[in-house]
Structure 1
């Protein structure tokens, strides 16, 4: 939730330390990163939702009892409920409905959307009750703009619309990759250009709604051109599934290791928080020798207050929030970064899906299939992006127990996004040098699932047929051609910067002109291969409850 290190040539647009940055799409930026001979074939977008209220009300000294920052969202909720005839609440005892009369205390819309989905996270990220009451300087009262816990605020809506508008400016206006208006599918159904996913949390669904409003403005409410896929929580792939029995002990092990390795940093932030009267009581509640996470619950409230520019003690400034975000990242991201098997269990199934989109895009591009999805958008969470950064090797080689924690590892900001671009360059020559792993015959000639995770050079869902392509004769060849993917490259953006994947830094594993941040497709496959389990492997490794 705090900013990632920003390159010196970045032109930041973030308002403060808890919000993501986006690059300025200047002509020089487009010419540098998207030369005319390089085309975009497919894009996977994984984003965190926009600014929200805290998951609970636990630090009344800095957090108001009533967050009156959701007027626009609540109006939309009321209009939706009125449109479907559900603005009349039901009596829980009788099941009968009676029209609620407006009053100063019970507006007719209040929490109808959220009454069964408050998403109180106190049991997951902290101790104690969510009902902390009013603080000494809290004069807030309930209004028609009052938010629920964890609700996307009006500021969050603005941020997500801005992210969608940024993607429109890039992929529609500058590159012509997406059509200017969404196209209806040939069968009359929703557009095939976009694959859309959101989790069951209201804030991610609404973040996606706002993002689509920026990408394709002026679409009618409830446009039949968009189909959003939502999975039941038990089958979700974009955040850790705690039905995975192996996950909790691994988290506990690596969190304890992080606590030990970074004792100095964590002890310093703990001592600093104790010196801030507004935080002291909650810090003492959260901190325990048996608990390996005490900064994340504090960060949840501090980041929300800071992002919305609400008054806070002078000691809780931008620099303090950044240090708190770094400590929170150590408590959570450190685990996935240190253990490849844990990263697989946390986010491997989502990486499997992203690889599947890329494979389908290559196959569709070769077949000149214009009905294939061009972009997949996953509206998700900070607990999605943190492990994904580890999989992409942000800061070093993930899974190396001897390596130090990446410098600058921080919690993903509100509205953060990762974009995995599949590029094609049929003009530029393939790198003349080949990385050693490119000609590993075993990993290609046999079923990838028969190769140990640590030795895989392609994900388990990359078919061998992808390598049986000959552009010389225009037909598929019988044997594997290690150069078959020579025209395709992958670049990973995280907010306003590109990530340099460890396997793509070697000579021969990246674009000769665009540099190490533009991987050969083989280089990208090599990076993520050990993090992509099959369904059978995922179930066996997780020991699914």
Structure 2
């Protein structure tokens, strides 16, 4: 029993990075009974999954597979900004009291069982002067509130797809029915662990069906626009950022009189010090945790102007070009459409039902922009994009009959399949399937899988390595 427990605990543990150890599930559970943990939530802090208003599909459609891309939970800023007077925002964020105990898997030669032993330890942030505080967060770290909100996201998934729809079983008996993947960043990895714990805690998992968490090497990552592995994409992004600075810096000039005093007298600019994106990052992190910000940053007009400029810098022009779409989101869309096609072809022979990907704001905005449904608002913490695959169960479906008649190369016509995209709890009507015949009649939010795959194919790099050369496709 002891060996079996160790094996299960090891699989359940979250790999933060090569320098971070794993924490056990009982530490997660302890979080929700700890009385002194920050539990306050701001209405602006994150975008929860609204299961109560989930729109049921038309009759004749059956849900087959769900792909979810979720931004990590609330975190600290990635840099120190607006600290000290007159802004007085924290330099050190004391919001990480939970999940500080870890179990590192260590190899013990000669133990005979072939299993690793576990060394318990605590992780504590040490400052440059040698002082420390067990509650202090690292820059960019998932906070206690972030852990709570991502756990809640997982319980909402369970409420929707297990309890309400009966799409997923109450207890996980087959690990191949679920797929969980994260970018190799501690805050996304921890967020995904919280989500998994909410969806399928160990008490709801068969001993042989403990879910795995997948992570890719940096060069293979496609859950975001991976400029680190694509030089051409890096060049394009830098160019668009410079263009955005030239086009939008003047729109930020009126804010100098209001907020320059909070940034050491510097002007507010896209390419300023700090950058406008950095200011927005710090303010959004603070408001998410109910930290009081200077009154100027509570003015809707101020934040709206900054957000518009930052969104322009990161997304407005970039993802309107086919090349950035191909290099930034093409491989992700190819993965998505390929797995859906596999499910459509194989049906119940493919057991995979739900896929949850823990990623970043840039991934959600990039994906929505690529599909021409971005709302030009910076994605909130725990925002998500969902793609649901449905199959038609109606024999009299007119579109299925039409497709059958028009498909002489098919040896056997199967049911029609549709994809519905949801973002920020809303159905998205994709322009790519607006034409008649490319969506379910009377329901334009249900795009045919065929139309979706055609667009995904157009956006998929034929040779990613070659297209990522500095000169791009022109060098082919």
- TM-score band by shorter chain is 0.7 to 0.9
Report which of the two has the higher share of strand: 2
Distance 1:109 1:256 in 2: 40
**Closer/same/farther in 2, CA of residues 288 and 171 from structure 1, 3 Å limit:** closer
Secondary structure of 1:377's partner? strand
Aligned to 1:411: 378
- Choose which of 359, 362, 368 in structure 2 pairs with 1:383: 362
Secondary structure of 2:133's partner? coil
Give the drift of 1:18: 4.4
Aligned to 1:327: 309
Aligned residues of 2:268 and 2:276 also touching (Cα < 8 A): no
The Cα offsets for residues 411-440 of structure 1, whole Å up to 9 and x where unpaired, read as 1111111111111122162349989xx98x
Aligned to 2:297: 316
Give the drift of 1:16: 2.9
Aligned to 2:412: 470
Structure 1: 5+ residue stretches without partners: 1-13, 89-107, 116-130, 134-140, 185-190, 396-407, 446-466, 472-483
Matches within 5 A, 1:355-366: 355-365=337-347
Structure 2: 5+ residue stretches without partners: 1-40, 107-116, 472-476
Matches within 5 A, 1:60-459: 60=83, 61-74=87-100, 78-81=101-104, 85-87=118-120, 109-111=123-125, 143-184=133-174, 191-217=175-201, 219=203, 225-239=210-224, 240-260=226-246, 262-263=247-248, 266-277=249-260, 279-281=262-264, 283-284=266-267, 288=271, 294-317=275-298, 319=300, 320-365=302-347, 368-369=348-349, 371-394=350-373, 408-427=375-394, 429-431=397-399
Give the drift of 1:327: 2.4
- Choose which of 60, 81, 87 in structure 2 pairs with 1:37: 60
Query: Please, what TM-score do these two structures have when normalized by structure 1?
Result: 0.68
Distance 1:85 1:299 in 2: 41
Work out the number of aligned pairs and report it. 412
Distance 2:470 2:178 in 1: 31
Secondary structure of 1:420's partner? strand
Distance 2:286 2:59 in 1: 44
Aligned residues of 1:385 and 1:418 also touching (Cα < 8 A): yes
Distance 1:380 1:82 in 2: 26
Query: Please, what TM-score do these two structures have when normalized by structure 2?
Result: 0.77
Aligned to 2:469: 543
Aligned residues of 1:17 and 1:318 also touching (Cα < 8 A): no
Give the drift of 1:271: 2.9
**Closer/same/farther in 2, CA of residues 359 and 301 from structure 1, 3 Å limit:** same
Aligned to 1:520: 448
Aligned residues of 2:432 and 2:455 also touching (Cα < 8 A): yes
RMSD value over aligned CA atoms? 3.4
Give the drift of 1:309: 0.9
**Closer/same/farther in 2, CA of residues 493 and 54 from structure 1, 3 Å limit:** same
Aligned to 1:511: 440
Give the drift of 1:39: 1.1
Distance 1:528 1:499 in 2: 17
Give the drift of 1:544: 7.9
Distance 1:307 1:25 in 2: 23
Distance 1:340 1:196 in 2: 29
Aligned residues of 1:391 and 1:528 also touching (Cα < 8 A): no
